[in-house]
Amino acid sequence: MLHESPAFFLGANSPSGFVSRFDHLYSPDEGWFAYILKGGPGTGKSTLMKRAAHDFDELGTAVELIHCSSDPESLDAVIFPQLKACIVDGTAPHTLDPIYPGVSDTIVNLGECWDSTRLRNNHRDILDVTRRCSAQHQRSRRYLAACGALAEDTSRIARSTVNFEKAETFAAHLAKKKMGAAQGGRGREKVRLLSAISPDGVVNLEHTASLLCSDIILIEDEYDAVGAFLLDCLRELARNRGLDVVACYCPMAPLTKLDALLIPQIGLGFLVSNSWHPCASLRGCRTIHARRFIQGESLAAHKQKLSFNRRTQRILQNEAVECLAEAKRIHDDLESLYASAMDYSKVDKYYMHIYDEISTRMLF
């Protein structure tokens, strides 16, 4: 069942704008093939991917879902790891083009399924709606940029009170206890995001951690003092033991900071938990408190500043989310304009072609 399939994000609404990690979606060097969907909003890209996910799931094929951070109900990609195949939305803001056209990937142009005359007749509405949607995303980015600056200030203050040598030693002991001896070679790393800032607020796909890992350890770190550091240490310790890891980056710093580390190979996972993305559905997990590595008196000296930052961050993040929600409402209107010009029976033919080609990979 699809609800038992791991789900992630590969794009983030972040303080520096939208950040795409779609370059980690598939590997041509390892024999993967990607179908890159092109076409406007409302052309059926997400629906096609959901259909593929359902159909191959029914065949017993492993499915990995990549959700859209600007609309978590939609898919940005669907991955079939066992078949080394994926289908992905290659349009902005996560534009993706073939790396080795026809060899490792190909474009599927759903724009060939619309009535161009009807779209041109609606061109004024399409331009207006597109610009209004873009304006809301720009406003959201400005709020997140301000929020990110305060978050970094809070983290800088908190990090100044941390005994990092103690934290590193703790990570080494934890790895020895939980990961066992080295297995030879260096483990591989898969990049994903487990959370996103979305029109629905902060969405945390923590159920994925439960699906992949039976042993989950939470790192309670309200001020972003040491959680990311511990995860970096544990990632290196795992990979040096030959264990493959899923490195999940934080949407507020999607290129630099981890907020989760999953090691499905041994069923072990580590998640940072705080009021910004609480792991509410996870019960009975061991919890490591950041305060064990913090000089409490030093942190208390900054109490007033930290309190101000937290309150203001919350206000800014809420405003950013409201902008994303408004952008989603406007985008729905844009989808309707394109959908009215679509011939979805043609989309069905494209889907069957993709389905047939991916199915042949089941024979090998």
Res. 277 pLDDT band, cuts 50 70 90: confident
Q: What is the pLDDT of residue 124?
A: 96
- Burial label for 90, CB within 10 Å (0-12, 13-18, 19+), is buried
Is position 154 within any domain? no
Per-residue pLDDT of 39-86, as tens digits, reads 999 999 999 999 999 999 999 999 999 999 999 999 999 999 999 999
Domain count, the chain: 2
Enter the DSSP assignment of 135: H
- For 267: left if phi > 0, alpha if psi spans -120 to 50, otherwise beta; the answer is left
Residue 145 falls inside a structural domain: no
Instruction: Mark whether 59 and 182 lie in a shared domain.
Output: no
* Whether 239 and 351 share a structural domain: no
Q: Is 233 left (phi over 0), alpha (psi -120 to 50) or beta?
A: alpha
Look at residue 108 and tell me if it is in a domain: yes
Give domain status of residue 107, yes or no. Answer: yes
Q: Decide if 332 contacts 207 (C-beta within 8 A).
A: no
Indicate if 186 and 248 belong to the same structural domain: yes
Cα angle: 19, vertex 22, 26; to 5 degrees = 165
Q: Which of the 8 DSSP states describes residue 270?
A: E
**Cβ-based neighbour number of residue 217 at 10 Å:** 18
Q: Are residues 28 and 106 in the same domain?
A: yes
Residue 324 lies in a domain: no
Range of the domain at 88: 2-114+344-363
Per the confidence metrics, is the pTM higher than 0.75?
yes
106 and 171 both lie in a single domain: no
Is there a single domain that holds both residue 179 and residue 266? Answer: yes
Average pLDDT of every residue of the chain: 95
Res 148 pLDDT > 80: yes
* Same domain assignment for residues 8 and 80: yes
Asked if 104 and 225 sit in the same domain, the reply is no
Q: Going by DSSP bridges, is the β-strand pair 253-263/245-250 parallel, antiparallel, or unpaired? A: antiparallel
Q: Which of 253, 278, 294 is the last residue of a domain?
A: 294
> Strand 201-204 vs strand 253-263: parallel, antiparallel, or unpaired?
unpaired
- Pair 166, 286 in one domain: yes
Domain identity same for 351 and 253: no
User: Does residue 11 belong to any structural domain of this protein?
Assistant: yes
Taking only the tens place, the pLDDT of each residue in 322-362 is 999 999 999 999 999 999 999 999 999 999 999 999 999 88
In a domain, 299, yes or no: no
Q: How far apart are CA 123 and CA 362, in angstroms?
A: 44
Which pLDDT score is estimated for 364?
Answer: 62
Is residue 91 in a domain? yes
